[in-house]
């Protein structure tokens, strides 16, 4: 039975991600700028991301929302303006001013009913809705506040459907918004019970990949978002092609999320090679598999080697051999540099999509015969929450900017509640890490 995925892009960051993501989806599935399906009879076209109208037009199952009009106006006047249903592009008149409380308590409330009505229409157009994907930023007011409000409503109306988000997380040393730590802590705290899996990406990691792998020293948002789109698309590519060995969203959750709160897997991707170098590289299955465990291939500034893995999902694309994959997995199980939780010593799940990854014309990534997207749940991710709390504490101890949030209807006690919840999340990961057999990874590092 076919299944469908509805995608919701929220805030300036989420909408800019959508621009790159749907550009890639259309290339991957042979869809023109106006929704015409190429090289295939429209009646035979089935895809979780698109519905087909009686006239044969492919229409994305998508909703884009921003509390101010500028980012979505660029979609309305851009190259793909004829692709999207006009009613799926929803804008307000007043932005959230980088303030979680405005997005959640005041300005966001004015738009939530309109958005939920559009979500209802999109889901009723599905025969077997599998999941709702959300793209947003943790640091912005709309991405943090309005998305949190939206997730609360989605939980009420679609409680049994998986809610999966791809979120831009505050980077360690890059911060366009001074109150990002507040917004991110509130967003994580308020949505920790309403999201099933959250894949977080930070711009600093993506910047470093563009600079070090593609030799793009001053990447634009287009450079960053096209790379992010490649990774997001790869994460569920096996669901969208008829000859793939699929990894369903339910299987993904079962394998990656051992406890409801421990739902922040990391994403790695390989090969990350610019177009000029693709003719000089081998791209063997062993190479791309090992590269995905290197920090330079991760979409988050975390060294996973300093933590313990709970589980890994490998999503291969292109010309791959199951025997070679099994050999790689067996080698990983004996790699002493990779540490696994003692009750999950070989938590590997594999999906294969025989269609090679698509390279966007003019993009930084070059065409390659095969690729790997690694989704892994590791206790090392606690370091990003520790960094975030340190920034949160440095501002909150001086009560900096607190009045902006209180003035929009938030009680000051929410600052402590949110902070304590993230501290508890860090402890959850530490307890998992402490359950590893033998020496801790840190002890091994001290001995070397």
Assess whether 251 carries a catalytic annotation. Answer: yes
Residue 216 CB-density burial (10 A; 0-12 exposed, 13-18 middle, 19+ buried): middle
How far apart are alpha carbons 125 and 302 in whole angstroms? 40
Structure tokens, 120:
């209802």
Angle between the N-to-C axes of helices 221-235 and 11-28, in degrees from 0 to 180, rounded to the nearest 10: 60
Residues 6+ away with beta carbon under 8 Å from 198: 164, 165, 167, 191, 263, 264
* Paired tokens of 402: 């607190």
* Nearest of 165, 106, 108, 163 to residue 138 by alpha carbon: 165
The residue to which tokens 């994305």 are assigned: 60
**How distant, in Å, are the alpha carbons of 90, 216, 296, 325, 330 from that of 213?**
36, 8, 9, 25, 28
- Cα–Cα dist 328/271, whole Å: 16
Size of the chain in residues? 448
Contacts of 394 (CB under 8 A, 6+ apart): none
Residue owning tokens 């640091």 = 139
Catalytic residue (one of 94, 110, 193, 251) = 251
Residues involved in catalysis = 251
């Amino acid at each position: 039975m076919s299944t469908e995925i509805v995608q919701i892009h929220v805030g300036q960051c989420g909408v800019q991600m959508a621009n790159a993501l749907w550009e890639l989806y259309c290339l991957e599935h042979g869809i023109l700028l106006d929704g015409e399906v190429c090289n295939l009879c429209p009646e035979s076209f089935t895809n979780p991301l698109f519905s087909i109208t009686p006239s044969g037009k492919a229409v994305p199952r998508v909703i884009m929302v921003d509390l101010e009009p500028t980012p979505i106006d660029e979609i309305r006047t851009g190259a793909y303006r004829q692709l999207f249903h006009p009613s799926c592009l929803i804008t307000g008149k007043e932005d959230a001013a980088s303030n979680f409380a405005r997005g959640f308590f005041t300005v966001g409330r004015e738009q939530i009913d309109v958005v939920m009505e559009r979500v209802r229409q999109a889901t009723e157009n599905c025969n077997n809705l599998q999941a709702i994907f959300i793209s947003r930023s943790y640091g912005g007011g709309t991405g943090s506040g309005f998305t949190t409000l939206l997730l609360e409503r989605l939980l009420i109306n679609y409680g049994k459907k998986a809610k999966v988000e791809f979120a831009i997380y505050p980077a360690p040393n890059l911060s366009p918004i001074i109150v990002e730590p507040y917004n991110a802590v509130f967003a994580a705290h308020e949505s920790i019970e309403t999201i099933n899996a959250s894949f977080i990406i930070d711009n600093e990691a993506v910047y470093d990949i563009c600079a070090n792998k593609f030799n793009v020293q001053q990447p634009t948002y287009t450079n960053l978002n096209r790379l992010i789109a490649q990774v997001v698309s790869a994460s569920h590519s096996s669901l969208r092609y008829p000859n793939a060995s699929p990894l369903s969203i339910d299987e993904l959750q079962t394998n990656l999320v051992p406890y409801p709160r421990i739902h922040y897997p990391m994403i790695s991707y390989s090969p990350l090679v610019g177009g000029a170098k693709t003719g000089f590289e081998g791209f063997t299955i062993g190479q791309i598999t090992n590269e995905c465990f290197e920090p330079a291939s991760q979409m988050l500034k975390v060294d996973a080697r300093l933590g313990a893995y709970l589980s890994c999902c490998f999503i291969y694309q292109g010309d791959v051999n199951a025997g070679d994959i099994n050999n790689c997995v067996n080698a990983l199980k004996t790699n002493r540099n990779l540490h696994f939780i003692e009750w999950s010593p070989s938590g590997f799940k594999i999906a294969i999509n025989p269609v090679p990854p698509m390279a966007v014309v003019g993009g930084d990534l070059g065409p390659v015969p095969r690729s790997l997207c690694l989704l892994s749940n590791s206790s090392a991710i606690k370091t990003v929450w520790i960094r975030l709390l340190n920034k949160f504490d440095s501002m909150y101890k001086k009560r900096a900017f607190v009045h902006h949030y209180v003035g929009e209807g938030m009680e000051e006690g929410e600052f402590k509640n949110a902070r304590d919840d993230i501290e508890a999340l860090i402890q959850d990961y530490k307890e998992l890490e402490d359950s590893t057999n033998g020496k801790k990874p840190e002890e091994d590092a001290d001995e070397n």
